[in-house]
């Protein structure tokens, strides 16, 4: 059968090595940490560009959080019953009265 002999063992080693190489190539292509032969991870150090992008990302997240807080306050103001009640009163003041038309 095919299972006996050194060719079978060499085939298994070759398949595992090719799989490991393909895995590391895909990881390197997409920026993930690489894996060494013992399962440890090798992480690329941050460059000036990645540090700048991380700082910009943090600033944008902080700005978004502040805008969300302001939006929550505005929603509370608009949905407040007192605000809508005063708008309704102002709308009633602007409409002509029916009693004036009858006289």
Give the pLDDT band (50/70/90) at residue 14.
very high
User: pLDDT tens across 70-92, in order?
Assistant: 999 888 877 776 667 777 778 78
pLDDT number for residue 1:
52
Q: Is 90 exceeded by the pLDDT of residue 65?
A: yes
What radius of gyration, in Å, describes the C-alpha atoms of the chain?
35
Mean pLDDT (whole number) for 41-60: 85
Angle, in degrees to the nearest 10, between helices 48-79 and 81-94 = 60
- Judge whether 35 and 23 are in contact, CB under 8 Å: yes
Q: Is 90 exceeded by the pLDDT of residue 57?
A: yes
- Judge whether 66 and 73 are in contact, CB under 8 Å: no
**CB neighbours (10 Å) of residue 24?**
15
Chain centroid to Cα 92, Å, comes to 47
Chain centroid to Cα 68, Å, comes to 16
What percent of the chain is predicted at pLDDT more than 70? 82
């Amino acid at each position: 059968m095919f299972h006996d002999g050194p060719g079978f063992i060499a085939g298994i080693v070759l398949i595992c090595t090719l799989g490991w190489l393909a895995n590391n190539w895909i990881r390197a292509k997409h920026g993930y940490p690489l894996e060494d032969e013992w399962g440890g991870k090798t992480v690329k150090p941050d460059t000036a560009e990645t540090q700048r992008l991380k700082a910009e990302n943090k600033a944008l997240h902080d700005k978004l959080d502040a805008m969300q807080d302001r939006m929550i306050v505005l929603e509370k103001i608009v949905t407040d019953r007192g605000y809508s009640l005063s708008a309704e009163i102002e709308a009633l003041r602007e409409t002509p009265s029916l009693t004036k038309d009858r006289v």
